[in-house]
Structure 1
Amino acid sequence: MANTTLTLSEWQFRGLEEENWYPAVVPGCVHTDLLRNQRIPDPFYRTNERELQWIDKQSWEYQAIFDVPAEWIEESGLELVFDGLDTYADVYLNEHRILSADNMFRGWRVDVRGLAQPTGNVLRIQFRSPVLEDLPKLEKLGYALPASNDQSEIGGMGDKKVSVFARKAPYHYGWDWGPRFVTSGIWREVRLESWSGCRITDLYIRQREITAEAAQLTAIADIQSDGPKDVFLRLLAGAQVWSLPLHLEEGVQTVRLEVSLDHPELWWCNGLGEPSMYTFTAEICDVADGRDVLAERHVRTGLRRVRLVQEPDSFGASFYIELNGVPVFAKGANHIPNDSFLTEVTSERYRHEIMSAVESNMNMLRVWGGGIYENDIFYELCDENGLLVWQDFMFACSMYPGDKAFLTSIREEAAYNLRRLRNHPCIALWCGNNEIDTAWSQYNENGGWGWKKQYTSTQREQMWSDYEAVFHRLLPEVVTEHAPDAAYWPSSPMVSLGGDEKQHATSNSAQGDIHYWGVWHSGDSFESYNVNLGRFMSEYGFQSFPELDSVLRYAVQEDLELESEVMRAHQKNGAGNRIIKGYMDRYLKDPKDFPSFLYMSQVQQALAMKAAIHAHRRKKPYCMGSLYWQMNDCWPVASWAGLDYYGRWKALQYEVKRSFQDVILSVDGSIGGYLDIYLISDSPKPVSGQLTVELLELDGGCLRSWSAPVGVGSHTSGRVFTLPANQVLEAADPRKAVVAVKLEEQGKVLCSAEHYLVRDRELELAAPHITITEESGSDGTCFTLQTDVLARQVWLKTGEEGIFSDNFFDLIPGRPKTVQFLERPPTGKRFVPGHPPGRVRIQSMTDMI
């Protein structure tokens, strides 16, 4: 009896009407294969995006020739498995059509017994143009469905937006941070599998009840047999073994084995404990000889109880994740695909993103609905590092059709991905879509994004009926069927399934989750984050540019101007560059040149997100989640990301690391109001210490100070100091002063912060003289910095790829700061001290103005 696999890795491709074949890399796509064969220029360079829109109007063909071991031909099962075909594909084996695929988000299996031969098998996959395939669907419907981010004009399609008809990554059609590259190709593995006797096709460890005392589990196995046989199922987890006698019939049968683990090691998210994992092995064994294993399958999972808590309270209703009975304040970001060309994302790039999240004190990432159901390695890394995942289904910012074929495809897609991902302990909830409920706003005639007003009453009724069919009926049904213990949330943001206008989220709803975009899209001040607060802030953000080294990967010197053609091509948010400049005119001094503008844009982004995160955390436990937009980029661009396309940390990422620490001091206040200091803790233990508050001159002199013992309980926020800001200042000039606060316990500083009573534009900064000294015994990786006057937003830069333990920080005279360089390891593991970074370049805000 055998279970064997052959991965097909030797491929070639061509345009369907072409004669010549070219080498192809699988997994891959047409764009990357064209680039490797030097048939197109770098798609990301300057304005090349516009010149490459012809690619998605053509059909393409891939071919592999392979042999099959003769003994495989005689076995009970022989299947070709396609883990991902993008998107409309006709598959032929030895000139027999064996599959017509139409959904990028699912895998396909085809029985090829009787068609495969020992030598010279020819597998051809013809990919039809996704754009031309879907144009007739638009014409048949008779009216356009909303698809705000489909950049059809760049694609030469005019106003014909067809992205909504394809079960394909929506961001491929363009977004307000990403280019339009509508790909085709084999984007996940293709392999041949043979088997005989029996095999385990799926193993699900359902976690019925998890406590510190015991884990009550059900192992659910799908077993396929080529005929009747008596066997027993054996389940192993460490030293524990359970078994169940079985009689198998020909075909597939589902069997269940109830098991219990005493005193399990629980899976915890980052900051609350260790993300302990178990490996479960299911074996089918011969009754006559228990040592003869006929088939086996492994599953790695963590044992935890996770639930979405929505309970009425005096404000409205809560909205938070509870893990093993502990309320979790979600700290993290929204994740998008790491590349426009998905197969360019290496394991190292995935690890770098996840390690950056861990290093930044995050405990959650949201897999946003305009991308993909991520590759297995993404969820495995989240499992191993204690990052919870808010998982969207792949629908975003559009209305979708509701015909029978489309709904059937969605059902199969959802079932496939639920079954693929349901053993991952990281997944905290499944969400139907991104922003569609609030954009359409069914129960508020003047609400939403204005979509409804474009349609007749009949069309509107049909479109909302189709929406409810998918997000209020189909998807929750499939979640209940395949992951019955998982939480489902129909749309983000949303208040509730109330059936009236109260269902839709506002900027400060007292239940549900909120996307607050008043800062940025509406021009609201950063201070608005203090009043536009909800129970869970699942989106908010502010843009910046990448650093100069990254910009020069896609631009040349003549492009270094804010409104140049190239800078506008790498800014997908219409007025984005002008918005950045407009806010800069309000908050920061004028940068002296374009490289300085890049720096100042990053500082400004960090200041905005600091204001938001601190406002959210100060409001704990009313607010229990802060997920900013966005973690990463899919190409080099001005965007909301904290990591640029090349994985370089912006100022935002360092601010996030500081603002998401388990225990922080947060200062709120400006002239004319109160200076309020909050002690915020995500620690499971109470926190206390000696608070010191100082008003300092910018040369370090102390004008006055206050000190008091303070403390807060576990998992909470409390105001521990308050004074009228004018009383703090007295006669001091706020343009020449800084408030410095710290919390000490037995002489050890637990946390500290600086606060300014005026905006940076008004600060009277003198140029600092900063010295840097290498710490002895650090092997050239640790440095101590000192300054003679306040150095605002000190930026350390080296020629090596990596991060510093802190960066874009304020340096106060007489208060040395020691930082460590941590290299970006090629294996993508945790950041660790590595090779000395060599020369460290030091700049601060006064160097930029």
Structure 2
Amino acid sequence: MHKLSLAGEWKLRGEFMDVTADRFTEVLRKLDAEPVRPTLPGFLRVEDLPPEARAKFFGEPETAFTVYADKSPNAFPSKTGYISATVPGDVTSALVQNGIIEEPFLKTNTKKSLWIRDLSWWFIKEFEVSQALLDEDIVRLNIEMLDFNADIILNGMPVAHHENAFCAFSEDIKRFLQVGTNQLVIRLTSGMELHYPKDSVAYYCASNNAICDQRVYTRKPQFTYGWDWCQPVPTCGIGRSIEIEGFTGAKVVASRVDTLKLDGDDAEIEFHFEIEKTNMVQSAETVLEYALEIDGKTAYTGRQELLLVGGINYASERVTLKNAKLWWPNGYGKQNLYTFTARCTARGVTNEAKPKKIGIRTLELDLSKLPDNTRNFFFKVNGTRIFCKGGNWVPTDSIYLRTPDESYKTLVSEGAAANFTMFRMWGGGTYEPDCFYEYCSEYGILLMHDFMYACGFYPDHLDSFLFEAEREAEYQTKRLAHYPCMAVWTGNNEISESYTDWFPAPIKPARFYGEKVFNYIQPRAVHRNSPLIPYMPSSPYFGERANLTEEGDVHAWSYFGRDPKTKFKFVYELEAFDRIPARFSSEYGFFGAQMESTVRRYHDGEEMAFDGEIWKHHGEFERKRSNIDGAINRHITDFSTLDVHSYLTYSGIMQGLLYAELAEAMRQKPYGAGDLIWMYNDCWPETGWTIIDYYLTRKVSFYFLKRAFQPKKLIIRKAEGGAVVTVINETPEALTAELTCGYMDFAGKTGDTVQKTVEVAPHSWQQFTVELSGELSHGFFFAKAEGFDTADSLRAYYRDYVFPKSDAKIEHVESDGDDLLVTISASVYTPFAYLMTSDDRVHYSDNYVTLYPGEKKTIRVENCTETPVLHVAETMPSEEAQKASYTDSWF
């Protein structure tokens, strides 16, 4: 087998859209012209074009001038010269690297790069081919991702056309190659030009936030057109791996290992192989060999002698794996991974498949019926019920092809550090590269994985669209079938719900556009290629309506915000979290500001200001601010007194409090099965729902959710006559908890306490009521036990109380390798104490903590030698709370 990588430096130029693939010769004639430079002589300014030219290439002149013309010149490449581009990579990155445009995410620069969508982009590469490569039976050009509308020309001959960023390009090009120098040309466009006219299908996904409502026709990441939480950044490019591969004989092209059954320490497993043999008109004797290894030891070897025909062949074997080491989600056990290798020998040639990491585990989506005729929605791994804690994953970057592997590792490991057990792959994004799924498997993060369709009806009346949908479903289900992190395939994001709930009778479409994809093509592909992974046609789904709160998974926006019978009574009414009867919340979130270092970074030297253009451009619009300010005002302090710096802190605290409230409400329900916040990460720097920002910085809310998702967790709620205590142990070890429950006032004086020994089995949950009394306007119920964080009953209504002035202090600091161990304490109840260094990107084992009177807390400051400063975020009691405090003698 021969492989020739085409990664590296290419030449790139922009042409007008009417320079189509058949005009490639005139483009190539400019190959040796003077390179394009970021100066006006090398560019045409949009505003300098005559009106008829602006109208031709950029739409209506008035609109074009508003969109494209900024205070600084907006330019596109002239008709001469090329720039260098790194492949894999995208057009936007190349333009930034060559100084032609500014980094889009700084200031308001996204507005300055929209013109990229209106040109065709020509990538050109010369490479050398050996006779040995041409001697192979099959020589293919393999490109993992082409975004989007691609024409491939090799040595002056058209090879193929490709229109799907979600399905790899692979074509036999042997007949086009020659020994020595070869030239590959790839013409790309963003795809927005293909379906511009309005139509009845695209009407239903029209959005004021998007620059092209016809996105539903293009099989590329839908969010790049703009969403309600991100600016449009239209780009195109060549993503991930690109190589020429030649092989002779036979090779494994797809494989997986299914865990069928667990029996004590043994596992019944089944190997599946898809094998391709060259020479289409002859059979060949072939030896297939495969093995599983773990911890440097061979766990199983298999060998089959096969007679293969030309093209695709299949093989399988069912065996019992002795003393199997199981794979568990994060916190529930170890993430044991076997190395799975396979090779084929035919006609004297041996071809090795790329090794894979697989996990031995069973997985089930439990939809069993409950006594009230509703149904469960539990994921079970290895027969054990899993509470799915996590968030919605969106692409890591609006310029998504430039994300390095290290960013995927950071984001997945940070999810694990926040005690996540699941990501939901949101359907408006993309199928991620292999490294992401490898990291999820390594860190124990399950995936609730949408197919990439979102918030719109899709044109399943077009044969061409169905063709691409089927290719994509086949490719992705086969590619991802072996990963132990894969928990469920979901057909799309909110499209079933949109049909049942969003469009009342007069404007509802004539039929459910997309049903041929979501209800037929995709379930068939899942059944063929990954039959042990469950499938749902949409998220949310199940019940008489797609987003019925008592069935299936729920996107809780309608429950909390749209239904007048159940919505919040104020921003935010915490009891609403307790009332929601959802089994599994797969979308709901709260806004929260970013850390100051991030805000300063995208201001790029400009002054931070609440009403500044940059501030608003990065997500601080009126609706968002009214939610954030209203919540701060109700729960923590008077938001009108906050400056920019304190706003960032209190906004983060408020977001964290609300995420913790929802998580604890879901975890204490006997039927609660999952809480996935909207959303975990971000594709650009903005004030939004995430706990990790675009620059991979932990936001304040990260620590609140990490505590709420702890594998060992106490929750206490006020109840009639006392308190309800929930004890959660998701770990694989049984434990005995010597539990103390009682009442404490804010100055540290305790009332009656109750001692209780609780035996907690592995992976278990239990709940009980204790009789307690105390004046809750001046104190709280608490529950504590060794190995658990102390829990209190106050919830987040902090403005309802008058707290004594905190005397929080650092008691002790010691070094531990590259880390610091900082011990802090206070003699009175302190709701929010936090450590801070000069760098707000430093990681802590915990932060923004509650200090209980007389209780010490030690925090690890990671990879830091600077002694941090201890801060206290003060609360401001409401007028009612202050008046109440004057009439008693509690203090």
TM-score of the aligned structures, taking structure 1 as reference length: 0.88
Equivalent runs, 1:646-685 vs 2, <5 Å: 646-669=695-718, 675-684=723-732
Structure 1 residues 767 and 70 mapped into 2: Cα distance closer, same or farther (>3 Å)?
farther
Distance between the aligned counterparts of 1:430 and 1:190, measured in 2?
Answer: 27
Alpha-carbon deviation of 1:757?
6.8
The change in CA–CA distance for 1:265 and 1:716 in structure 2 (over 3 A counts) is: closer
Distance in 1, matches of 2:245 and 2:630, equals 59
Deviation at 1:70, TM superposition (A): 2.5
How many Å separate the matches in 2 of 1:543 and 1:107?
Answer: 36
Q: Helix, strand or coil for the counterpart of 1:575?
A: helix
Cα 1:844/1:520, change in 2 over 3 Å: farther
How many Å apart are 1:533 and its aligned residue?
A: 2.6
Compared CA separation, residues 797 and 451, structure 1 to 2 (3 A): farther
CA displacement at 1:129 relative to structure 2: 3.8
Q: In the alignment, what sits opposite 1:791?
A: 830
Question: Does residue 1:762 correspond to 2:819, yes or no?
Answer: no
One-letter identity of the residue aligned with 1:382? C
Q: Write out aligned runs for 1:560-575 (5 A).
A: 560-571=608-619, 575=623
2:202 and 2:457 in contact (8 A); partners too:
no
What displacement does 1:221 show?
Answer: 3.0
Alpha-carbon contact 1:797-1:841 (below 8 Å) kept: yes
Partner of 1:229: 284
| Structure 1 partner of 2:649 | 599
Report the equivalent of 2:203. 145
Match of residue 55 from structure 1: 116
Q: Residue 786 of structure 1 contacts residue 811 of structure 1 at CA under 8 Å; is this kept in 2? A: yes
Return the letter of the residue paired with 1:484.
Answer: P
Aligned residue number for residue 354 of structure 1: 412
Residue 828 of structure 1 is matched in structure 2 by none
Q: Which among 96, 99, 117 is matched to residue 160 of structure 2?
A: 99
- Residue 580 of structure 1 and its aligned partner are, at CA, apart by 1.0
Structure 1 equivalent of residue 589 of structure 2? 541
* Residues in 2 aligned to 1:590 and 1:541: alpha-carbon distance in whole angstroms: 23
* Distance in 2 separating the partners of 1:536 and 1:701: 39
Query: How far, CA to CA, are the matches of 1:339 and 1:758 in structure 2?
Result: 33
What corresponds to 2:507 in structure 1? 454
State the match for 2:7 in structure 1.
Answer: 8
User: In 1, distance between residues paired with 2:353 and 2:660?
Assistant: 50
Instruction: Report the Cα distance in structure 1 between the residues aligned to 2:452 and 2:838, rounded to whole angstroms.
Output: 39
Structure 2 unpaired stretches of 5+: 17-78, 878-891
CA contact (8 A) 1:134 1:162 kept: yes
Residues 677/179 of structure 1: CA separation in 2 closer, same or farther (3 Å cut):
same
SS at 1:312 equivalent: coil
- CA-to-aligned-CA distance 1:526-564 (integer Å, 9 cap, x gap): 220101131211111111010111111112687534343
Q: CA deviation at 1:84?
A: 0.2
Alignment partner of 2:669 out of 616, 619, 634: 619
- Partners of 1:95 and 1:757 lie apart in 2 by 69
Cross-structure match for 2:468: 409
Q: Residue 307 of structure 2 aligns to a residue in which SS?
A: strand
Separation (CA, whole Å) in 2 of partners of 1:357 and 1:774: 30
Quick one: structure 1 residues 394 and 286, their matched pair in 2 at CA, closer, same or farther if it must change by over 3 Å?
Answer: closer
Question: Does the 8 A contact of 2:424 with 2:448 survive in 1?
Answer: yes
In structure 2, the residue corresponding to 1:167 is in which secondary structure?
coil
Q: Secondary structure at the match of 2:195?
A: helix
Q: Secondary structure at the match of 2:510?
A: helix
User: How far did residue 467 of structure 1 move?
Assistant: 2.6
- 1:374 corresponding residue in structure 2: 432
Q: Do the aligned partners of residues 652 and 520 (structure 1) sit closer, same or farther apart at CA in structure 2, a change above 3 Å counting? A: farther
Gaps of 5+ in 1: 442-447, 497-501, 823-833
Question: Structure 2 length normalisation: TM-score?
Answer: 0.84
Instruction: After TM superposition, list the pairs within 5 Å mapping 1:199-214 onto structure 2.
Output: 199-211=251-263, 212-214=265-267
Contact 1:198 / 1:295 at 8 angstroms: preserved in 2? no
Identify the residue that residue 390 of structure 2 maps to in structure 1.
332
Partner Cα separation in structure 1 for residue 3 and residue 684 of structure 2 = 38
Q: Which residue of 1 aligns with 2:62?
A: none
Equivalent residue for 1:693, pick from 713, 719, 741: 741
Quick one: which of 609, 630, 641 aligns to 2:690?
A: 641
CA distance in 2, matches of 1:53, 1:46: 15
Q: How does 1:373-772 map to 2 (within 5 A)?
A: 373-402=431-460, 403-441=462-500, 448-450=501-503, 453-455=506-508, 460-462=509-511, 464=512, 466-496=513-543, 502-506=544-548, 508-509=549-550, 511-517=551-557, 518-519=559-560, 523-524=568-569, 525-555=573-603, 560-571=608-619, 575-591=623-639, 592-620=642-670, 622-669=671-718, 675-684=723-732, 687-723=735-771, 727-729=773-775, 734=777, 736-743=778-785, 748-756=786-794, 759-772=797-810
Query: Contact conserved, 2:87 with 2:239, CA < 8 A, in 1?
Result: yes
**Distance of aligned partners of 1:760 and 1:221 in 2 relative to their CA distance in 1, 3 Å threshold:** same
3-state SS in 1 of match to 2:774: helix
Residues 718 and 205 (structure 1), Cα distance of their counterparts in 2 relative to 1, 3 Å cut: closer
Q: Distance in 2 between matches of 1:597 and 1:432?
A: 40
The CA RMSD over aligned residues, in Å, is 2.5
Whether contact under 8 Å (1:203, 1:297) holds in the other structure is no
Q: Partner letter of residue 418 of structure 1?
A: T
- Would you say the 8 A contact 2:2–2:247 is kept in 1? yes
In the TM superposition, residue 775 of structure 1 has moved relative to its aligned partner by 3.8
1:263 equivalenced with 2:323 (yes/no): yes
Q: By how many angstroms is 1:523 displaced?
A: 4.6
Cα 1:640/1:218, change in 2 over 3 Å: same
Residues 190 and 286 from structure 1, CA distance in 2 versus in 1: closer, same or farther, beyond 3 angstroms? closer
Conserved in 2, the CA contact under 8 Å of 1:3 and 1:196? no
| Distance apart, 1:704 and its partner CA | 4.6
Task: Tell me the distance in 2 between the aligned counterparts of 1:664 and 1:237.
Answer: 37
Residues 149 and 397, structure 1, Cα contact 8 Å, conserved in 2: no
How far apart are 1:740 and its partner, in Å? Answer: 3.3
Determine if the alignment matches structure 1 residue 819 to structure 2 residue 859: yes
Distance 1:257 1:723 in 2: 59
Aligned equivalent of 2:880: none
1:73-100, Cα deviation, whole Å (9 max, x unpaired): 2221111111100011111111211111
2:705 alignment partner, SS class: helix
